[in-house]
Amino acid sequence: MKNLDRLLRRTHLYLGFALLPWFMMYGFSSLLISHPGWFSSDDAQNWTVIEEREYHPQLDESADLRDSAEAILADLGMKGPFWANQPSNERLVLQRFSFWNSTRLTFDLAKGRVTVEGQPQSWDKVIKRMHFRGGFIQPTWADFFWAIVVDLVCFAILTWIATGVYMWWKLKRLRRWGAVAIAAGAVSFILFMIGL
């Protein structure tokens, strides 16, 4: 039993330490997202034209949009993580991003032109990009491993809850107030689910 106690305590602690940068990042970035007026730099949304030139992308209408977009980015020497959006038959928008910056490519398919735009760097954007980064659809290995770590953070939270509850239960003196905290949290949450 003592060994189990020790194992769960150490798991709680070391898992927390290993994932501390992610937990701090998700905490701080959530504050930025929840209170955009507190931190946002004024020019964060502005896009500046870097280049405008002729370009005739090869778009196969039967192909998946992301496959076509990936081929276009490779042709332009801009391989990497991206989002693709085709709001109309004449317009294709690709956003090629990293943690540090974001480049928007807007293709006028009728005229065969592309406009390349960049965003001014701002620290709040960098942290928010880290928060929103995830999923397994981006074409780089770094994104794949990042998504695995995101999963790991989620499972770590579930593990902290389970081991935290176990450690509280072992502290007999604190059971009553711990039970009050659990019940108060659960009741508050249920009331919000019903009443919001």
Partner 1 sequence: MLSTLIRRIHMYAGLFLIPWMLVYSLSTLVMNHRQWVASWYSTAQPSFQLVEEKDYGKQFSSDLDSDLRADAILGDLGMQGAHRVRSSRDNGELVIERFAPLGTMRITWRPDPGKIRIEREDMRASTILERLHRRRGYQHPYLKEDAYAFFVDAAIVMMMAWSLSGVWMWWDMKIGRKWGWISLGGGAALYAVFMVLM
Q: Please state at what angle helix 141-170 crosses helix 2-18, rounded to 10 degrees.
A: 140
Residues 6+ away with beta carbon under 8 Å from 123: 41
49 binds partner 1 (CB under 8 A): no
Residues 6+ away with beta carbon under 8 Å from 96: 73, 78, 80, 81, 82, 102, 103, 104, 105
Using CB under 8 A, which of 39, 83, 166, 168 touches partner 1? 168
With respect to partner 1, which residue has the nearer C-beta, 53 or 171?
A: 171
Using CB under 8 A, which of 49, 63, 74, 184 touches partner 1? 184
Helix, strand, coil content of the chain in percent (nearest 5): 55, 15, 25
With respect to partner 1, which residue has the nearer C-beta, 39 or 99?
A: 99
With respect to partner 1, which residue has the nearer C-beta, 49 or 190?
A: 190
Pick the piece of the chain touching partner 1 (CB under 8 A) from 23-31, 69-77, 82-90, 117-125. 23-31
143 binds partner 1 (CB under 8 A): yes
Token reading at 140:
């780089």
- The pairs formed by 182-186 with CB atoms below 8 angstroms and a separation of 24 or more are none
Q: Which residues bind partner 1 (CB under 8 A)?
A: 10, 13-28, 30-31, 33-35, 81, 98-99, 133-137, 140, 142-143, 145-147, 149-151, 153-155, 157-158, 160-161, 164-165, 167-168, 174, 177-178, 181-182, 184-186, 188-189, 192-193, 195-196
